[in-house]
Amino acid sequence: EFLQDDVSVAALNSGTSAIHLALILLGVKAEDDVICQSMTFSASANPILYQKAIPVFVDSEGETWNICPQNLEIAIKDRIAKGKKPKAIIAVHLYGMPYKVDEVHAVANKYEIPVIEDSAEALGSHY
């Protein structure tokens, strides 16, 4: 009922593959900027390179060790000022700690940038 009738589902072999597919579906291509948090497992950032895109690393905040919403907005403004609006944001729920979902999504929505959630380490967590 939640998914309604217009839905497609793909089962993949890894979180890396899922992020890679999400980037493809969002149309990320060579030289596009994609934001990713700096403190994460390499598999969160590798799919950006698979697309020949440019990872833009954003520092983490101290409470959850995940992407900092304030630093995210600074990075977005910086990239836009340079004429390169990011094509996506990869937000990671690191070590079972959810990132600040509401704050990060508020920033992403403000600039109309899609968020890809890396939940590979989120098993058992809640927000």
C-alpha distances (whole Å) from 84 to each of 10, 39, 51, 112 are 31, 23, 16, 14
pLDDT of residue 3: 64
89-126, pLDDT tens digit by residue? 999 999 999 999 999 999 999 999 999 999 999 988 88
125 assigned to some structural domain: no
11 assigned to some structural domain: no
25 assigned to some structural domain: no
Residue 2 identity: F
pLDDT of residue 2: 61
pLDDT of residue 9: 82
9 assigned to some structural domain: no
18 assigned to some structural domain: no
6-62, pLDDT tens digit by residue? 777 889 999 999 999 999 999 999 999 999 999 998 999 999 999 999 999 999 999
Q: Which domain holds residue 63?
A: 30-118
Residue 9 identity: V
59 assigned to some structural domain: yes
83: domain CATH number is 3.40.640.10
Report the domain count for the chain. Answer: 1
- Please state the separation of Cα 2 from the chain's center in Å: 23
In this predicted structure, the answer to whether residue 1 has a pLDDT above a threshold of 60 is no
